[in-house]
Chains A and B, each alone.
Chain A
Amino acid sequence: MFQLSHPTPGNLAMAGSLTIYEVSQAHHELAAVLHSESQVNAWRLDLSAVEELDTAGVQLLLALHKSLLHLGIVLETFNPAAAVRELLELLRLTHLLPPPAAQA
């Protein structure tokens, strides 16, 4: 189960699994938000409720990061769940993690 919530512009939260089984759905939803929300300065992405993440999920995050960068939008992740932190550290993608000082 993957859930993307989008309470206010620029604020998003992911919950559940983000693996090969969910990436299509997640991709679809993220693309829709991206389409409607290209005017904000930053996206704040809450990763605290992500239970499972695999390389397909990471790839999706990377593509999101790339697209946002292209539009001049900053991607700020926060509260990464343990599974997220572990995998992103394993793959040395620390730029997708919040900077150490900003950790909540």
Chain B
Amino acid sequence: MLNGEQWTQLLLGFIEEASELTQQAEEYLLQLDQSPTDEEALSGLFRAMHTIKGSAGLFSLTPLVSFTHHLENLLMAVRDGAGTLSPALISVLLRCLDEVASMVALIDPQTGELPVDEQHQAQLLATLAEQAQGVPGVKPLAVEPGAEPAAAISGTGGAWHISLRFSADLLRNGFDPAAFVRYLGRLGDISHLALIDDTLPALAELDPESCYLGLEIDLLSDASKTEIEDVFEFIRDFCTLHILPPDSALDDYLQLIQQLPESDARIGQILVSAGLLTENELQAGLTVQASSEAKPALGEVLVSQGVVPPKAVDAALAKQKASREKRVNDAPIRVAAHKLDELINLVGELVISAAGAQLHAQKHGNALCVESTQTVNQHVEQIREVALKMRMIEIGDTFNRFHRVVRDVSQQLGKDIRLDIRGADTELDKSVIDQLADPLTHLVRNAIDHGIENAEQRAAAGKPAQGLLRLNAYHESGMIVIEVSDDGHGLNTARIRDKAIARGLIDAQANLSEHDIQRLIFAAGFSTAEAVSDLSGRGVGMDVVRSAIDALRGSIDIDSVQGQGTTFRIRLPLTLAIIDGFLVSLGDEHLVVPLDLVTECIELDASQLTRCTYGYIELRGKPLPCIDLAAHFGLPPSHTVRRNIVVVNFGRQQAGLIVDHLHGELQTVIKPLGLLFQHLQGISGSTILGSGQIALILDIANLFHTLHHSVEADSRTNQPRPDLTGS
């Protein structure tokens, strides 16, 4: 029996599958928008809707079934050549897909309940019906939900023959074969059905919860074999399934007769009564097979009768085998993300303990021991790499989502924009990709809204009427680079400068390079849009994008040429789980500074600094704000004579961190802080050193923030304001 948890698991599986399908459907639809006659996209779209409808039916998600049913109906009519998808119709269909996606998201996996906004759905369907008027034969609203358009399926003459033998556990696992028969009825017309109950015992010996049944079904349908197979997807483990296409060769039917457990005559009669074989064919066929002793395989029968040359049979068999093996090897396995996280976490522990073992071995000095721990370490390294790779997914899916954004936004603004995607196969850590979606959307919307000009402006500038937006991803020295570029009018540096001065972000006399001015748009509270539109420019602008990228330990940069376009370039680490750090210590405490933020290390001249937490030193003629980390974190004051300053860069700001000792680079696994310590300021995580000691990873962004505040507080008490912008 299926318990609640298993059911929830199944339902969760469906939710995941359905959201993937909806997304696929959207891609197909956008493809159709480009080329309305693309049959492959059309049938892909149809299949996606059909599968969602079918699976939703298995979970009794009636609203989803009836809604997708309308879409499926329309698509079926279009597919059968009854019309084409007009751009208006595609727009409505896109909104319908949104509704499907939101329904899927609203399914409660515990109860299987699905609340719906019926009014909204009715409106959508009414719009759909209106738009679909041009498509003859479609009356999306006239069809009762759940009623089947059996007439729409054009019979192709012969029937599919489907043989099912259920395993004893089928019913106990909560599957009802009748539900699958009902569902099969949606693919076409069941012309013939025989329930096989030959093995069903008398009442006294019956185990009522075991399944003793089989089904022989003949289906008039123009569905493909895969579609029919998919019907039984859920019970694949609980049944033996044979499917013969319409008008199969006599030998195929004979082979089926042989394969089924019942007597040859019994199955033969079923096939005869279904009209798939004639009595004579059956008798002749069975005699041939019966007469060859020891029942050779059908292939041999065919060969020996000279029907098929042996080579052809071999080739066909080899091909079957190869394709089966390939399917097994290449088939992806769905793994819950948290299981992968668990694995990576464990691998992280392993890295640490292996490093510890190596340290001890080296102390001990036993050469054999050192050697074997080294081998262990190498393998651990490899495991770590492989484990991290498992989290990598291609960025293409994320990029493809922007087809829709570009289409919607450009339509809204009346601009004609083409999206060009490159490097879709570049792989990136899944968690990074997830967190990247928002900032990317912001950049894309910005580019369409502010970057690319409207048609008249473009014509005046001598550019092609169609604007170009490009998303590109590639690897560059251990980092991932993602570019969002447009061929619009570029950034107006004069305007940015004026505005920055007006907002007090820079001094009116400041002498900044073009590039520095461009970077000002990332400053907090800066928004260049003069008119706040619905799309972007709500005052929260590029600074939000920048902090999102910062949170991913990445960086963002602009490249803009006036009149020619703008490119935003995001650089991200390959993974969030590992960091290249720089190890420093304060007394006995070890701290890690993210290595890519470190610009230089200098020795602290004790005479330079006043004994306070936040002070300044002079670095090459400029004031460098410094934090005495020991004082900042409330550690006992240092007694070390020689102290050091680690100069770190954060964005355009620069500051020094005063520490005791420098230990050098290390690559380390980041462990998040526990619940209790999550609100700690200035610390972003921890890691364990080979010696077993804990090192805290500094949150540089937060330290800069603190420093900034103390500097502002200082400046109010009439002290000279230090130039935080360094260089």
Q: Which residues of A contact B (CB under 8 A)?
A: 20, 23-24, 26-27, 30-31, 34, 54-56, 58-60, 62-64, 66-67, 70, 87, 90-93
Contacts and interface: CB of A to CB of B under 8 A. Distances in A.
A24 B176 contact: no
Contacts of A24: 208-209
A20 B172 contact: yes
Contacts of A58: 178
B426 to A, nearest CB: 50
B402 interface: no
Contacts of A54: 176, 178
Given A54-B178, A56-B171, A93 B209 contact: no
A31 B177 contact: no
Contacts of A93: 195
Interface stretch (B197-205, B223-231, B333-341): B197-205
Contacts of B172: 20
Interface in B564-606: none
Contacts of B1: 20
B202 A27 contact: no
Nearest to A34: B203
Interface string B188-217: 000001110100111110101101110000
A45 B536 CA distance: 71
A66 B172 CA distance: 22
B310 interface: no
Interface in B319-345: none
A93 B193 CA distance: 9
Contact of B209 (A30, A56, A62, A63): A56
Contact of A59 (B174, B193, B204, B211): B211
Contacts of B185: 90
A70 B172 CA distance: 28
B364 interface: no
Nearest to B192: A92
A91 B181 contact: yes
Contact of B178 (A60, A63, A64, A90): A90
A68 B612 CA distance: 99
Contacts of A55: 171, 176-178, 211, 213
The 9 residue pairs across chains A and B that have the minimum distance between CB atoms: A23-B208, A27-B208, A67-B203, A67-B202, A54-B176, A92-B193, A63-B206, A56-B171, A55-B178
B182 interface: yes
Contacts of A27: 203, 206, 208
Interface of B: 1, 171-172, 174, 176-178, 181-182, 185, 193-195, 197, 200-204, 206, 208-209, 211-213
Contact of A20 (B171, B181, B197): B171
A52 B456 CA distance: 68
B195 A87 contact: no
A67 B404 CA distance: 63
Contacts of A60: 206, 208
A31 B209 contact: no
Given A55-B177, A60-B208, A30 B203 contact: yes
Contacts of B200: 59, 62-63, 66
Given A55-B171, A67-B204, A91-B178, 9 more contacts: A30-B203, A59-B208, A59-B212, A63-B203, A64-B203, A66-B200, A70-B202, A90-B185, A91-B181
Contacts of B209: 20, 23-24, 56
A95 to B, nearest CB: 11
Contacts of B182: 90
A31 to B, nearest CB: 5
B171 A63 contact: no
Residue of B193, B200, B202, B203 with most chain A CB atoms under a 10 A cut-off: B203
A20 B178 CA distance: 12
Contacts of B174: 20
A55 B178 CA distance: 6
16 contacts: A20-B1, A23-B208, A24-B209, A31-B203, A54-B176, A54-B178, A56-B176, A56-B211, A59-B208, A60-B206, A60-B208, A62-B200, A63-B202, A66-B197, A67-B204, A90-B181
A25 to B, nearest CB: 9
A22 to B, nearest CB: 9
A60 B178 CA distance: 14
B216 to A, nearest CB: 10
A49 B176 CA distance: 21
Contacts of B204: 31, 34, 67
Nearest to B172: A20
A54 B202 CA distance: 19
A59 B171 CA distance: 11
Contacts of A67: 202-204
A26 B193 contact: no
A63 B213 contact: no
